[in-house]
Amino acid sequence: MFSPAILLSLVLGALAFTALTAAAPLAVYTVTLALFGLAHVTSEFAYVDRRFGRRLGRPLVWRLGLLLAGVAAARAAGVFGLLPVTVALTVELALVAALALAVAGGEGPRGLALGVALPLGLATALAPFETAVTLAITHNFTPLGFLWEAAPRHRRGPAMALALAGFIGLPLLVASGLPRLWLGLDLAGADPMATGGLIRHLHVYVPAALRDGPWALDLFAACVVAQGAHYLAVIVILPALQRRRAPGMRGLIPWPGRGLFALAVVAGSAVALIGFLDDFSGARGLYGILASVHAWVEIPLLVLILGGAFQPTASLPARNEAAFAAAETASARRGVNPATTAISPASTATTIASRAMTDGQ
């Protein structure tokens, strides 16, 4: 999928990042969040829309959209003090369970959806904060599912082996504490963004029962390594796979071209960085509202992927794609898009033929 030179660069970069994180986890966590947090959210929004948006169908998109709007509202209510934090968090996690149930339409996804939603609902009722920490940790590994779905079948084994080494192997190594001992550096308290010290951030990735234990620092660092792998996957690797394997796939949103999109992401990240430098805690709260939507949209998508609901992209256009194309053609004929009006009769004929073929599959 990638040239040997690129793979070598990724491996060496991952090792360097792991060593730096083991030595200075707070510095790496805060700086990478400020620099790449917004970039990874917007990049993943674009990826999942292009990859899955039209394959979901309008009814399911509307259901998921309404639930995700509820998630954002619950998170915002907690951030702005409109609801007690416990209440806001419980509502948010309940909606996450509902997101899993929303895709329980097929035989494969149904069992998996219930297997996700029911334990999540029970855990939320018993210990919402610990459930949130657990989900924050596991969220870092969600690109593994997207990588498995996007990788070519004949290269899926080597690709997933390399991904597992980065997402699982390196964090486990850091969690052991060995890299920190090998490096012999005491930079755990380094706080270049003046965020208040490590104690104010441990709760993000370390359960309350372990925060005072001897492994808290290494567990936090291990999760930051996994977070870095997450960022790399959704900003660089998944979009690159998309461009190679299905460059023509469109989403529900008319995303700008590659260059303009990159420019917009850089500009947005620069604004976000200024906010983090001015008030890290406040900026992280605002960022969390957007990040909650990007995180929880992954739940139903992964249920569908692992449940076998998505067909290989080579089979497109599918029934949903034909329906979206018909809607766009109708818009063009009404004059919404004058540039395409001249070709709308032929486009309509193609759409009708495509729908007829896919209805019979």
Q: Residues 52, 246: contact at Cβ < 8 Å? A: no
How many other C-beta atoms lie within 10 A of the C-beta of residue 49?
19
Residue 238's nearest CA partner among 294, 183, 276, 300 is 294
Per-residue model confidence as pLDDT tens digits over 328-339: 555 555 554 444
Per-residue model confidence as pLDDT tens digits over 258-288: 999 999 999 999 999 999 999 999 999 999 9
**358 pLDDT above the threshold of 50:** no
Q: What is the dihedral of CA 202, 206, 212, 213, to 10 degrees?
A: -130
Higher pLDDT, 77 or 348: 77
Residue 230's nearest CA partner among 188, 177, 291 is 291
Instruction: Identify whether 300 is preceded by a cis peptide bond (ω within 30 of 0).
Output: no
Query: What per-residue confidence (pLDDT) applies to 325?
Result: 52
Query: What per-residue confidence (pLDDT) applies to 14?
Result: 94
Structure tokens at 95: 């909606």
Query: What per-residue confidence (pLDDT) applies to 276?
Result: 97
Q: Residues 174, 219: contact at Cβ < 8 Å? A: no
Q: What is the CA radius of gyration of the chain?
A: 22
Chain position carrying tokens 């993943």: 44
Q: Residues 47, 265: contact at Cβ < 8 Å? A: no
Instruction: Assign 218 a pLDDT band (cuts: 50, 70, 90).
Output: very high
Give dist(CA 345, CA 355) in Å, integer: 15
Q: What is the mean pLDDT of the chain?
A: 86
Q: What percent of the chain has pLDDT over 70?
A: 85
Give dist(CA 106, CA 254) in Å, integer: 29
Q: What is the 3-state secondary structure (H, E, C) of 294-330?
A: HHHCHHHHHHHHHCCCCCCHHHCCCHHHHHHHHHHHH
Average the pLDDT over 300-306 and give the result: 93
For residue 295, what are the contacts with CB-CB under 8 A and spacing of at least 6? Answer: 135, 139
**349 pLDDT above the threshold of 80:** no
Instruction: Assign 345 a pLDDT band (cuts: 50, 70, 90).
Output: very low
Per-residue model confidence as pLDDT tens digits over 42-91: 999 999 999 999 888 888 999 999 999 999 999 999 999 999 999 999 99
Give dist(CA 340, CA 62) in Å, integer: 27
Residue 283's nearest CA partner among 295, 299, 296, 270 is 270
Conformation bin of residue 335: beta by default, left when phi > 0, alpha when psi is -120 to 50: left
Give dist(CA 91, CA 213) in Å, integer: 31
Lowest mean pLDDT among 239-243, 291-295, 318-322: 318-322
**151 pLDDT above the threshold of 50:** yes
Query: What per-residue confidence (pLDDT) applies to 315?
Result: 41
Instruction: Assign 322 a pLDDT band (cuts: 50, 70, 90).
Output: low
Per-residue model confidence as pLDDT tens digits over 157-199: 999 999 999 999 999 999 999 999 999 888 998 999 999 999 9
Cα 25 to chain centroid distance, Å, stands at: 22
Query: What per-residue confidence (pLDDT) applies to 8?
Result: 87
Structure tokens at 323: 């329906």
The CA-CA-CA angle for residues 167, 169, 174, to 5°, reads 100
Give dist(CA 321, CA 325) in Å, integer: 6
Higher pLDDT, 347 or 129: 129
For the chain, give the number of residues: 361
Average the pLDDT over 9-32 and give the result: 95
Q: What percent of the chain has pLDDT over 90?
A: 72
pTM attached to this predicted model: 0.84
Average the pLDDT over 110-120 and give the result: 93
